[in-house]
Amino acid sequence: MLREAIYHRPKNNWSYAYDRETVHVRLRTKRDDVAQVTLIYGDKYNWHVVGSQSSEMKVFAKDNLFDYWQAAVKPTFRRLKYGFKLQSGKETLWMNEQGIHEKEPENIYIYYEYPFLNPADVFEPPAWVKDAIFYQIFPERFAKGDPAIDPENVETWGGKPTPSNFFGGDLQGVIDHLDHLEKLGINAIYFNPLFEAPTNHKYDTIDYLKVDPHFGTNEKLKELVKECHSRGIKVLLDAVFNHSGGRFPPFLDVKEKGANSRYADWFHVREFPLEVRDGVPTYDAFAFEPHMPKLNTENGEVKEHLLEVARYWIEEIGVDGWRLDVANEVDHQFWRQFRDVVKKANPDAYILGEIWHDSQPWLGGDQFDAVMNYPLTEAMLDYAVRGTRDGRQFADLVGYLNAAYPQQATEASFNLLGSHDTPRLLTLSKGDKRRMKLATAIQFTLSGTPCIYYGDEVGLTGEQDPGCRKCMEWDETKQDQELFRFFAELVKLRKDHRALRDGSFEVLQSEEGSKSLAYAREADGEKFIIALNASKRKATVAIPVEKDTDFQVVLGEG
């Protein structure tokens, strides 16, 4: 057994409370190197009296280099002391906190510890999230309901989107088209920013407590939320707390008064006055964007203001959670306080971080419920759309991600195939609907909540921003109805079968160099086999099944 490959470190994704009774323990070994791993465990205070217990671990994930093993145990007194026994052929090794041993260690003090399963430390995303199917709305471009509040210079609906033009989408428009969403079957909406801001994307907030007047009013949003709730649809808002907009009044004050402004400490100023030198602002900003000054979330007043914002929209307007823009650049301390405030306002609120990379430091139960799963996005696109990743490479990436986070984070993760920040799926697919459907079928049959980017379901196309932010197509004759039916069918399938939401996941076939891929999801006595072929040629997948199994093809095309 390759000793250098064997890895475990208590807590994080390696040993964690899955719920208030159960601890998951994981171990990593070299791929296909170890035949059997046994978890040896007990209570450190009575081990010497009652001895230890053991549990066979199972390989629950694989990536290109490693196997990942897991066992679930329910320690009677919520304390867990544990070690591992590894076997391969005639070789047996024991592993604990002092490393790898060739004999069973007698001293239990050198075993690992999950010291106590305290409920406060259990990472519990809202239960509804793993059953949710999201729909992302870029409000300026979804639907126009109230021409009276159009911005100046509004252009004709359906025109060419530019970084700065307006088409007059608003909240009334969303209310007017909830039937479309209900027909599609989604049960949650993620809105790009709704608060007052000068741009069409509104990531440069002027007033965090006010719906942009071109979208409507706070009351209108409340009406929308109520209407959504009556249809069983949750509403998620975008919290842009990393930076304000350049017209945020405190920022304007610092710009005018410099160090003498009472808001001087609200931002990260390297040097007064606030200006741009050789393209670099004299203050921290999102990227080097002068109109997006980074907020000092360590300042007491800033914290108080933003936390009041977090509370207000949940408690007063009724929204069901927050998507956090540029979440990784804000301090962890702020997010911990944010979570306290949000969960106090509504314990069932969902906190979703925008993080494009490895996110474990935010997924310990003290900060976010989930992150936007961009690594999976890329893998789905590489496999199904770009053809740059084979079945084995795709399965490896899914295995790696499943092992990288606690199971409940995987179940609540936000799985997307495109957004306002990427080219549209159909465009990436070069108009090939089969590739688009392949990717979407994967998205809907993996753990984590899928999100449909507005318009993808009716065949909208568009390159990278601004192309991907074009107006929604409401002329039914111009909508791709066949595509819509495919999306609606997938939505229904997922909603009807728990196996596709939080069922077990097993890779059945994934071979190097092959574009075929098959995996199974199972729960409640139902098993789904998802067999995919990203190649242009026909392929055959052999799936071992038990005799007398009943089969039913629920979705598929040749």
Please confirm, yes or no, whether 325 is among the known catalytic residues.
Answer: yes
DSSP 3-state of 411: helix
Q: Report the distance separating Cα 294 and Cα 239, nearest Å.
A: 14
**Is residue 329 a contact residue for its own copies (CB under 8 A)?**
yes
String marking each residue 52-81 x if it binds its own copies according to CB under 8 A: ------------xxx----------xxx--
Choosing from 36, 162, 164, 333, the residue that interacts with its own copies (CB under 8 A) is 333
Considering the complex, state which of residue 300 and residue 556 has its C-beta at the smaller distance from its own copies. 300
* Rounded Cα distance, 305 and 247, in Å: 17
- Does 46 bind its own copies (CB under 8 A)? Our answer is yes
Given the DSSP bridges, would you call strands 66-73 and 23-30 parallel, antiparallel or unpaired?
antiparallel
Question: With the CA atoms of 87, 34, 99 and 52 taken in that order, what torsion angle do they form, in degrees rounded to the nearest 10?
Answer: -50
- The radius of gyration computed from the CA coordinates of the chain, to the nearest angstrom, equals 26
Nearest to 215 by CA among 174, 176, 261, 252: 174
CB 9 within 8 A of CB 95: no
Assign residue 11 a region: left if phi > 0, alpha if psi is -120 to 50, beta otherwise? left
19 forms part of the interface with its own copies (CB under 8 A): no
- Shortest distance, position 108 Cβ to its own copies, whole Å: 11
Question: For its own copies, which residue of 4, 106, 152, 475 counts as binding (CB under 8 A)?
Answer: 4
In the DSSP assignment, the letter for residue 301 is: H
Considering only residues 198 to 257 of the shown chain, the ones binding its own copies according to CB under 8 A are: none
* DSSP annotation of 471: P
Q: Residue 87, interface with its own copies (CB under 8 A)?
A: no
User: Angle 451-452-453 (CA atoms, 0-180°, nearest 5)?
Assistant: 115
When asked if residue 271 is in the footprint of its own copies (CB under 8 A), the reply is no
Confirm or reject binding of residue 50 to its own copies (CB under 8 A).
no
**Interaction between residue 7 and its own copies (CB under 8 A):** yes
Q: Kindly give, in sequence order, each residue whose CB lies less than 8 Å from that of residue 549, ignoring residues fewer than 6 positions away.
A: none
Least distance between its own copies and beta carbon 46 (Å): 7
- Stretch of residues binding its own copies (CB under 8 A), selected from 132-140, 251-259, 325-333, 342-350: 325-333
State in angstroms the smallest separation of the CB of 376 from its own copies.
12
Residue 130 carries which DSSP code? Answer: G
Among 140, 212, 238, 354, the one annotated catalytic: 354
10 Å CB burial of residue 478 (0-12, 13-18, 19+) is exposed
**Shorter beta-carbon distance to its own copies: residue 106 or 482:** 106
Known catalytic residue: 411?
Answer: no
Binding residues for its own copies, rule CB under 8 A, total: 50
The secondary structure of residue 270, as a DSSP letter, is: S
Q: Which residues of 257-292 are buried (b: 16+ CB within 10 A; e: fewer)?
A: eeeebebbbbbbbeebebeeeeeebebbbbeeebbb
- Chain positions 110 to 139 lying near its own copies, rule: CB under 8 A, are 112-113, 115-116, 118-121
As measured in angstroms, the least distance from the Cβ of 120 to its own copies is: 4
Least separation in angstroms between residue 419's CB and its own copies is 15
Catalytic residue selected from 204, 325, 369, 502: 325
Cβ proximity to its own copies: between 154 and 292 the closer is 292
- Site map for its own copies, 347-366, x if CB under 8 A? ---------xxx-xx----x
Task: Give catalytic residue positions.
Answer: 325, 354
Interface residue list for its own copies (CB under 8 A): 2-5, 7, 9-12, 30, 45-46, 64-66, 77-79, 97-99, 109, 112-113, 115-116, 118-121, 284, 287-288, 297-298, 328-334, 336, 356-358, 360-361, 366, 375
